[in-house]
Structure 1
Amino acid sequence: MADRSCMLTKRKEKEAAEATKNAKEAKSEAEKAVDDGEAPSAEAAAVNGAVASGQNGEVQVEPMELPPFEIISGDRIDPFVYKFQFKNVEYSSGRNKTFLCYLVDKGNTPDGLLRGYLEDEHSGTHAEEAFFTQCLPHIDPALKYTITWYVSSSPCSACAAKIAEELKAKKNIKLSIFAARLFEWEEEEIQIGLKALHAAGCKLRAMKPLDFSYTWDTFVESDDQPLNLWEDCKENYEYYHEKLSDILQ
């Protein structure tokens, strides 16, 4: 019995040591991701699990709880999140959600200009659809709406079809969509959706370097710090601009 108890104690000590080692490695990877600008701190924690300091400075692993899929709305975006989600790279690995920054001009009305952003999870309701249900649930036919979206990626085929239907049904809405990246633009159904948007009167354009600076100043918690554009920002814009032009021609 004493030998068995000793073996159990040693096994527990070994398991505790391995858990501490894994937690430290996870914490190191998360911090490195934030430092490299390739993942915001919140997303790094979601990938690696929550890491906290226990008594005597020991690292403890807390159970990771995934939030429900929902639409998040707000006034300004975390700067680390913005730099990761809006970076106009060709391959968007890890960027599995859409951020939609919006401006709504209703003309000479008391509430005038509306501004904010929406964030979605792709497995739930998409931000484009949520905009019309949450931000503009009621359209006054007597008003003219000039709406501008700055999105981290262009709409999927289903969202494009719904937006096109909305624009056809409500002629008093004028919509412009500026996208940091084109979502799966090689797919035929995506191209059909973008063409449908264009035919419905929606202005579509890839985000220029100036657009990134504008959205940084307008929609990000920047603390008045300017955005340092990544080296290939202009080159990537030209790439997406050319692909979009080919689709819409």
Structure 2
Amino acid sequence: MGRAWLYYTTLKRDFRKNFFPIGTSCIVYMITANDMSDFYRSGLSLKWRNQREHAEEECIDKLEYELCNVKRPCTVTLFMSWTPCSECVPIIIDFVQRHRNVRLRILAARIYYHEEPENREGLRILFTYCVDLKMMKWADYYFLWYSFGDNKSISRELIYKPHPYHGITNWETELRKILQGGRRKVFR
């Protein structure tokens, strides 16, 4: 599918389920035809502690460029180290509304500050605008790594190993609780 976008240290630092790196965020995007007959593009957006622009903003800018020549219905999949924060939700909603031919899927390793009410509400808003929100499972990590990684082998233990300071959070259950009762808008 192309050259390596992810390096082992990035995967280990940014996509582990039970580790909370401060100040970094990573998004790998993939654009495919809805009938899976064609693979268009992929790319990487990283945010470090001292950058002003969030990784989501950089990623949306790159997607705008990539999608300018794609007229067929397509799916954009974002493999994210964190779900979007409440500040990035309006940017994503604007993108979804301007690109009616795009189905947006977000597969995240963790939920960003999941106890903050504004972040919880932001995820519900994304859900109402037909953004598919899911937590990454092992198959998603495997696909991400072997499609965009640097060819070192990975293991479930690397991804799911509890961090000594952070314990374990069941992100799938937490996302289900957050989205419970949310209603989808019908505009597509």
Shift in alpha-carbon separation, 1:169–1:84, aligned structure 2, 3 A: same
C-alpha distance in structure 1 between counterparts of 2:168 and 2:137, whole Å: 6
1:245 aligned partner:
176
Larger proportion of strand: 2
C-alpha distance in structure 1 between counterparts of 2:55 and 2:73, whole Å: 22
1:193 aligned partner:
122
2:10 aligned partner:
81
Judge conservation of contact 1:209–1:237 (CA < 8 Å) in 2: no
Amino acid at match of 1:136: E
C-alpha distance in structure 2 between counterparts of 1:154 and 1:183, whole Å: 5
C-alpha distance in structure 1 between counterparts of 2:70 and 2:15, whole Å: 34
C-alpha distance in structure 1 between counterparts of 2:168 and 2:42, whole Å: 25
2:47 aligned partner:
120
1:13 aligned partner:
none
Normalised to the residue count of structure 1, the TM-score between the two structures is 0.61
Greater relative contact order, per chain length (Cα 8 Å cut-off, separation 6+)? 2
**What are the equivalent positions in structure 2 for 1:96-107 lying under 5 Å apart?**
96-106=23-33
2:58 aligned partner:
130
1:177 aligned partner:
106
Normalised to the residue count of structure 2, the TM-score between the two structures is 0.79
- Secondary structure of 2:84 counterpart: coil
C-alpha distance in structure 2 between counterparts of 1:133 and 1:232, whole Å: 29
- Quote the offset at 1:106 in angstroms: 4.2
The structure 1 segments of at least 4 consecutive aligned residues displaced by more than 6 Å after TM superposition are 234-238
- Quote the offset at 1:181 in angstroms: 0.6
Shift in alpha-carbon separation, 1:95–1:78, aligned structure 2, 3 A: farther
C-alpha distance in structure 2 between counterparts of 1:194 and 1:177, whole Å: 11
C-alpha distance in structure 1 between counterparts of 2:54 and 2:157, whole Å: 27
- Quote the offset at 1:215 in angstroms: 1.2
C-alpha distance in structure 1 between counterparts of 2:121 and 2:41, whole Å: 30
- Secondary structure of 1:230 counterpart: helix
* CA RMSD in angstroms, aligned pairs only: 2.6
C-alpha distance in structure 1 between counterparts of 2:92 and 2:30, whole Å: 16
- Quote the offset at 1:168 in angstroms: 2.3
Shift in alpha-carbon separation, 1:222–1:197, aligned structure 2, 3 A: same
**Higher-Rg member (1/2):** 1
Matched, 1:221 2:150: yes
How many pairs were matched up? 170
- Secondary structure of 1:158 counterpart: coil
Judge conservation of contact 1:157–1:193 (CA < 8 Å) in 2: yes
Matched, 1:158 2:87: yes
- Quote the offset at 1:130 in angstroms: 1.3
State the identity %: 24
Which one of 233, 243, 249 corresponds to residue 160 of structure 2? 233
C-alpha distance in structure 2 between counterparts of 1:127 and 1:120, whole Å: 5
